[in-house]
Amino acid sequence: MTATALVEAAPPAEAVGQVRELLEQAEAARLRGDYRAGSELARQSAVLAESSGDAAGHARALRSMANQLLRLGAQEAAVTACQEAVAVLEALSDDASICEVLTVQALPLDELGMHEEALGVLARAREIAQRLGNRELLYWVHNRTGVVHGSLGRYDSSAEYLAKALTMVEGMDDEARFCILNNVGSNAVYQVPGLRAAGDTATADAALHGALDYIAEALQLARESGNPFREAICLGNFGMLRALGGDFDAADRMIEDSRAIAAVHGYRSLELGALQDRARVRLLRGECAPAIKGLREALDRALETGATPVAMEIHRELSGAYEQLGDFRAALEQYRAYHTLERAAHNDVAAVRARMAVHQFELDNARLEAELAQVRSAELEAANLSWQRQATEDPLTGLPNRRHAELRLPEMVAAGPLCVAVADVDHFKNVNDRYGHFFGDEVLRRIAAVLRDHVRETDLVARFGGEEFVIGIEAADLADAAARCEVLRAQVAAYPWDEMEPGLALTISFGLAAVPSPAGLPAAMTRADQRLYDAKRAGRNRVEAG
């Protein structure tokens, strides 16, 4: 059932009550740290809500499910649930709930290494929260923004966002307070060594002492809540802060307690983190050999569970540990292993982006079809809509056609700075010759979806004909426009084409030019076309601007 159809349906009161009961059970499981049971209950609630037409209940259940899946390490499934929840809530025009879902979605995006996308959804959430003037929503936006900056290694920026969130938490529930206190402590684990390395010991000491106070309160709240996940993650952070303060025995006890709790409850990511933290404490003690042994144990566990980002971090730490021992050959081996994993991680992220783009495209299509179905209920309106689409839309890809682009581009350049790009699929004739025109049509549809899903709403993507597309990029100088085209080029190259046909790989080339004025549009289009041929001659799969 589509999002719009859910809005139209009048859900039976009995079904609404069943959805609410299941969701209450799911949230109770979440609060006690039983995320497997909680995510399954939330899934059942979502299925029942969708089948009965309870749109609001469907969205709440999807959000609960995502919030629990991310703690089980099912990050991609968590993002997908959030995307579906936002689609339902957009049909309901429920901006506050959209904001809540976006702050959840940022976490699995961050864990997947999609930091730019995480900051993007948080920027949208911030706009909603500010427009609504909602202090609680702003708290969660600042909190999660701080977390993402920490993942990017921007620990000072992270501390600023978290400090802002801390000023907003007064009067909120214990869960919100625990979250910000623990996040402040977690960020300090990385910020303090950086400050010390930079010679700013005074700031480092102040940050450490403040974080110790916050994490002590967080641990008390975690224990009062009866949630073992919170207690385990907090103990790990507390232990590392104690180690940074020189209390190594207390650090070892806390980290071991964290590991034991994680092992009992099946929190695999926290158990792995505890193994890594235990080795880090040994490094701080100056015990390099035992630390290396511990890091290797943690590395084996990370590779077994597919925790690539953690494995990368451990390789980097091992490289430093071997260097301290004077074993520079081993240090170099670990450094090389880190970069090998880094390249693999980039490929993994690109593949996830492509899958999520396709999923979002399918959601958008479902919503569009539902909206069009409503319009078609009036015969006259349907006929008018059909005429408009034939005049301005490409029937194969659903993108605006050349006619639409020729009308829209002058309007865009009249409104402000504009760059235009002409893009052409590389070696597309070979695709048609080898696989047939029906297969080639499907390739064009998918490329159109990738392009459309990775430009801003204010930009234009149109099919000019054949395998050629035109992109209008608003309010951008040439360098910024080239960067945006580079993202599009990379997304097309990273798309899982081999799922359509084993061994298939496709790329696209771009020619780009700035439009100085409305009168200069024809000349800019000619320059963009010339730059496209430059890109083809230079080897294809590239962006040429000028």
Query: Tokens 């207690």 identify what position?
Result: 231
Distance CA 117, CA 89 (A): 20
- The sheet with strand 460-465 has its strands ordered as 460-465, 468-474, 418-425, 508-515, 543-545
433-469 pLDDT tens trace: 999 999 999 999 999 999 999 999 999 999 998 999 9
- The answer to whether the beta carbons of residues 17 and 24 sit under 8 Å apart is no
Would you state the structure tokens that stand for residue 136, as one six-digit string? 């609680």
Output the pTM of the full model. Answer: 0.62
How far, CA to CA in Å, does 50 sit from each of 10, 43, 342, 442?
12, 11, 40, 30
In sign, the C-alpha dihedral spanning 388, 394, 400, 405 is negative
> Which uninterrupted H or E stretch holds 456?
none
pLDDT of 345: 77
pLDDT of 182: 96
Domains of the chain and CATH, by start: 379-545 (3.30.70.270)
Run means of pLDDT, 10 residues per run, the chain, 546 residues: 42 87 94 94 94 94 95 92 94 95 95 92 96 96 96 93 94 94 95 94 95 97 95 96 96 96 92 93 92 91 85 90 90 90 80 80 76 61 52 90 93 94 96 94 97 94 94 91 96 96 96 94 96 97 95
296-322 pLDDT tens trace: 999 998 888 888 888 888 999 899 889
- The answer to whether the beta carbons of residues 101 and 71 sit under 8 Å apart is no
DSSP, collapsed to helix, strand or coil, labels residue 316 as helix
pLDDT of 462: 97
pLDDT of 367: 72
pLDDT of 183: 95
